[in-house]
Structure 1
Amino acid sequence: MDAEIPSTIPAALRRAVARWPNEVAVVEAGRRVTWTELADRATAVARALIGSGVSPGDRVGLWAPNSTEWIVASMGVYAAGAILAPVNTRFTGAEGAQALRTAGARTLITVTDFLDTDYVQALAVDPELLGSLDVVIMSGEPGKHIGWGEFLARGAGVDHTDAERNLTADDPSDVIFTSGTTGRPKGALLTHGASTRTYTAWSDAVGLRHGDRYLVVYPFFHCAGLKSAVLACVLRGATLVPCPVFAVDTVMRLVQEECVTMLPGPPALYQSLLNADLSGYDRSSLRLAVTGAAAVPVELVRRMRDELGFGSVVTAYGLTETHGTVTACRYDDPIEVIANTSGRPIPGMEVRIVDRDGTDIGPGEPGEVLARGFAVMRGYYGDPEATAAAIDADGWLRTGDIGVLDAAGNLRITDRIKDMFIVGGFNAYPAEIENTMLGHPGIAAVAVVGAPDERLGEVGYAFVVPRVGVAVSPDEVLGWCRGRMANYKVPRYAEVVDALPLNRTGKVEKIRLRARAAAAVEKP
């Protein structure tokens, strides 16, 4: 690894302390934490974890909203030599339990007071799992579990330096959850060295600088928040400004009060800002926007520059399986490149476009995107079969996305083989939603597709076939879904049909359903 790039995430934090000891690392609700303070608090967490019996390589779950404490806890997990397994804050108890089981976590750091949500109570749906976990309450009432002060006291007299010192670039750092076409969560096993190398390259490409003030709306439980925000700021010496829940007024107040320079997000975030009255807010500090996760119209990029005041707007593409990044535009690329493509591979990554037979396709022709290089995950944790299906013997990762390369090597994503659709920046997987909906006593068959939505980009549209002799209504079905899955997965629309369109092999013809859903949504 390049000598200029820290080999591990704890090494990156130590370098930040050496370079900028008294500069502000995180600002939240008026509280300012320096790099030295952040590292000291992370060390206390590392010692407490080791004092709790956590060993190098153990998985530690973290289920909580964006906060300074989340950053401290994650850095403490890394410094203890353990593997971080963050859980989506929108998951239901059953979904969270499945993710923790997949990771094989024995420790869980969580909260009981986020938006009236008690994650421990949510896990009561799986009493066996809950009983097996050492549950540490970072915020809120601990009940019968371990409070934060009591947890930190476990680290008294514990030395964590060997655990941190023995980490290498090849050691696993995270199990980040995604979903495949089976609908079961899969944990992508990421590593320290690939993380620091990816986000050094990413920071170079997008133009993140030392001294930037970075407003983080993306959740920390995903690569977009954990890697391209938290880690990138550690590497660059930029100040993190966490935002636990997106709201236009909250974001703009923070932009004004904290002189935010960097504001990444999905296209829906910027569309929400552009559709709001921002006349009362000072936006003069805004310099850099990084977006992706959906097609980005040229007009949106122009409006972001002209109306929101961003000097640079950059687009990128990646997957959880590639530490979140494969390609990125450069901050000085022409507007047409930024709006119409996701840029070129970062150094050390390769991209190919192939047809169904795996034969390379020339520039301008659509095919499946394959990616290879240092950023490709180690594999799906505990799932060698899924790993073998995703990564071939030569190291090429099948992304499941359809894309086109131009003559300059810029990638444009045109479709999604896996039928995934993106709701306000969150990946929604039809198979997972359909599997849950089939648990409804009145549903015989269901197909979910993405339908266009002006604010969120896409939303779910469910075609439901009722069981014989059972009457179901769209409103009842959608209400049933709301109690059983994260809100971004819940279809916005449901339509009761007699049958689903099938092709000759018995597969649902979702292309027809997408067209039907789009037509239905666009009706006045």
Structure 2
Amino acid sequence: MSYLKSDCDLPLVEATPGQLLDDSAAKWPDQEAYVFRHLGVRMKLAEVKQEADRLAAGLLSIGVRRGDVVAWVLTNRPEWVISFFAAAKIGAISLPIIGFYFLTFYKGMVGDILKKAKVKVLLIENSPTDEGLPETIPYLKEVFPDIVSATTAKSLRIEAVPSLTSIVVIGDKTSDNAFYNLGNIQSMGTHETARQRVQEAQSQTNCHDTIILLFTSGSTGAPKLVEQTTYAMVNTAEMVNRISGQDKRKVLLAPTDMTENLDSVLIPVLTGSQTVVFASANTWELADIISAILEERCEGTTFMYVKTLHDLVNDPTVKECDMSFLKDVQVGGNVISKTLQRQFAQVFPDADIINYYGTTEGWIVSMSRRSEMTKEQMERTVGRLMPHMETKVVNKAGQVVPLNQEGEIWVRGFSVFKGYRGDEEKTAKVKTHDGWHKTGDIGVLDEDGLLAITGRIKDMIIKNAENVHPACVEQVLLAHPKVQDVKVVGVPDPRYVEEICACIILKNGQMSDVEEMRKFSEENGLLADEINPGYFVFMDSFPKTSTGRKIDKRRIRAVAMERLGLKENTD
């Protein structure tokens, strides 16, 4: 039957980030932990601890206590790392927010998000207008008109977010009385009494406390807030680093935003021997990534999106460089096509792809590594279950199905979330009373213990009574040499009820038409009318969900219907 519990000799870690930082800084004070190339900053473990202790004491001085939520809107900069460890040391809960989303996608719902999370302190980078984004301070005053009436930072009261008592500006100083500057807060943590208060607060922290709130995409309205524990976060980073073999790499490139790549924050303090390099602030120009790999001699990468991998292996300059020292890249967020895997093998013959399957609610569920699997297994599956985890594949009634039979993937273990903060009803829909997380993914477990993802329950298209998984159609079209990305959605049809619509982004400089795509799909296995797209729509880009991280298939469907002149079935 499709049930598996993974074995592992590696023990789970029962330590908090504050304890890990203190221990590592004591043992390896001069170890370079983080490199921020765009700022010219290189931080040693001892420096991280010193700054984190100062900020932790400052946060205590403005009223932050264990269980309070500290949110921040920061790009990849030292203050992100310092804020995380400072909050962890005093038992506060972190809520990192990517600035681009805060200033764009979340506009109109910022107050609701902060209120729902019960944010006590907001730290925000004071940046001028850049690439069409609003300037920070005027934006905050527009969102929270109450700021204008605050005569001092201590007197700040925002009616829309009653829990919010302080806003701390990072970067260029502001003379506005409503805000603290980061320097003000840090100066509160320099005396011995303040340091003792931090040690006392840290002694009260527990590895099973909530340590972080993470946004998960919502198609409409405010995103949900996933509560994760210290135990889940630390052990996920530890297991990923150890099981993947990346603990042997001395220098790792972090090619995404820190908020989306939390392992990169913990790795240096977990091992005391690894350096994580950030190529840029938050705009991932391929040139920055390539120069960082070459100049810092990065032996591996932390989490990388499929799109970044695609751009990397197709960049002509990469083929001219000696990157033989690069031994592996971590990739996730979407299915890696067979074509992309083969391209990677040609460009980086001595390197591994480490592919992850996971969810925000369950973190990393399974892992595949090219050197440990056959070509067929690597292309067909998402690998083996992570240590100390359970999975089962079930039917609609929640009953376990036989091996090699499709069903919904459920997972249980140390990394499964506590719940959606402030949303007990939504939590109950995806998490059972005995701890199983219903992922919503359709998959298959085989006799070798390998997991394959075949689709999403919500994405299922039923064409003429035939169940069609969009991923199956997408994989075929992704193999077309002119295609950069494909998303398949179901659109209304009077004959079939639902028709398959392939929405396609072509590679730069390429041109195609419906006839070419239809012929290609038929020649590559989509012969049956029930699985061949009835429509092909070409797009320049795909709309995103409210977090800005994931593709919004609802909106893609709406755009496709508008282009095709279709309306919802009313019968």
- Give the alignment's TM-score, normalised by structure 2: 0.73
Q: Is 1:34 equivalent to 2:44 in the alignment?
A: yes
- In the alignment, what sits opposite 1:231? 266
Q: What is residue 354 of structure 2 aligned with on the other side?
A: 314
Separation of aligned partners in 2, 1:348 and 1:382: 28
Paired residue for 1:249?
A: 287
CA distance in 2, matches of 1:26, 1:15: 17
Q: How does 1:133-172 map to 2 (within 5 A)?
A: 133=164, 134-144=166-176, 145-157=179-191, 158=194, 159-172=197-210
C-alpha distance in structure 1 between counterparts of 2:410 and 2:333, whole Å: 17
CA displacement, residues 15-74 of structure 1 (integer Å, 9 cap, x when unaligned): 322342211001112321111111111111111111111011100111111222211111
2:143 to 104, 108, 126: 126
In structure 1, the residue matched to 2:276 is 240
| Mapping 1:495-514, distance limit 5 Å | 495-496=562-563, 499-502=566-569
SS in 1 for 2:247: coil
Q: Which residue of the partner structure matches residue 188 of structure 1?
A: 226
1:388, 1:182 → 2: CA distance?
20
Query: Any conservation in 2 of the 1:252–1:281 contact (CA below 8 Å)?
Result: no
* Corresponding residue of 2:58: 48
Residue pair 2:254, 2:278 contacting (<8 A) in 1 also: yes
- Paired with 2:232 and 2:402, the residues of 1 have a C-alpha distance of 29
Show the counterpart of 1:334: 373
Q: Using a 3 Å threshold, how does the CA distance of structure 1 residues 3 and 340 change in structure 2: closer, same or farther?
A: closer
* Aligned residue number for residue 272 of structure 1: 311
Taking a change above 3 Å as real, the CA distance of residues 163 and 275 of structure 1, as seen in their structure-2 partners, is same
Going from structure 1 to structure 2, the CA distance change for 1:183 and 1:419 (only over 3 Å counts) comes to farther
For the Cα contact (< 8 Å) 2:90–2:205, is it kept in 1? Answer: no
CA-CA distance at 1:215 after TM superposition? 1.3
User: Contact (CA 8 Å) 2:218, 2:547: kept in 1 or not?
Assistant: no
Deviation string for 1:168-202 (max 9, x for gaps)? 11111001111346643111111111211222111
Q: Which has the higher contact order (CA 8 A, sep 6+)?
A: 2
CA distance in structure 1 between the aligned counterparts of 2:447 and 2:10, rounded to whole angstroms:
30
In 2, the alpha carbon distance for the partners of 1:186 and 1:369 equals 21
CA shift digits 1:225-249 (9 cap, x unpaired) = 11x2212343233211123321111
Contact 1:170 1:193 in 2 (8 A): yes
Q: Report the equivalent of 1:106.
A: 120
Is the contact between residue 332 and residue 355 of structure 2 (CA under 8 Å) also seen in structure 1?
yes
Say whether the 8 Å CA contact 1:266–1:293 is kept in structure 2.
yes
C-alpha contact 1:94 1:123 (8 A) present in aligned 2: no
Q: Distance in 2 between matches of 1:308 and 1:95?
A: 44
Does the 8 A contact of 2:208 with 2:230 survive in 1?
A: yes
Alignment root-mean-square deviation, CA: 3.5
AA paired with 1:136?
A: V
Counterpart residue number, 2:244 = 206
Q: How does 1:293-442 map to 2 (within 5 A)?
A: 293-308=333-348, 311-322=351-362, 324-330=363-369, 332-336=371-375, 337-419=377-459
Q: Which digits, 9 at most, give the CA deviation of each residue in 1:401-431, with x for residues without a partner?
A: 1111121121111212244999xxxxx9x9x
CA distance in 1, matches of 2:171, 2:433: 45
| Contact 1:305–1:311 under 8 Å retained in 2 | yes
Q: Is the 8 A contact 1:48 1:154 kept in 2?
A: yes
Distance 2:322 2:146 in 1: 49
Rg larger in structure:
2
Are the aligned partners of 1:353 and 1:366 in contact in 2 as well (CA < 8 Å)? yes
Per the TM alignment, residue 299 of structure 1 is displaced from its structure 2 partner at its CA by 3.5
Return the alpha-carbon distance in structure 2 between the equivalents of residues 330 and 15 of structure 1.
31
In structure 2, the CA distance between the partners of 1:136 and 1:360, relative to structure 1 (3 Å rule), is same
Secondary structure, counterpart of 2:270 in structure 1? helix
Structure 1 match to 2:474: none
Deviation of residue 112 (structure 1)?
2.1
Quote the Cα distance in structure 2 between the aligned partners of 1:355 and 1:282: 49
Query: In the aligned structure 2, how far is the partner of 1:207 from the partner of 1:358?
Result: 35
Q: What are the ranges of 5 or more consecutive residues in structure 1 without an aligned counterpart?
A: 423-427, 431-448, 457-473, 505-524
Secondary structure of residue in 2 paired with 1:325: strand
Question: Is the CA contact 2:58–2:185 (under 8 Å) kept in the aligned structure 1?
Answer: yes
User: Aligned partner of 1:16: which letter?
Assistant: S
Q: Is the 8 A contact 1:403 1:415 kept in 2?
A: yes
| Range that drifts further, 389-398 or 491-500 | 491-500
- Residue identity opposite 2:205 in structure 1: L
Equivalent residue, structure 2, for 1:23: 31
Contact 2:54 2:188 in 1 (8 A): no
- Bigger mean CA offset, 94-103 vs 339-348: 94-103
Partner of 1:215: 253
State whether residues 27 and 239 of structure 1, in contact with CA within 8 Å, keep that contact through their aligned partners in structure 2: yes
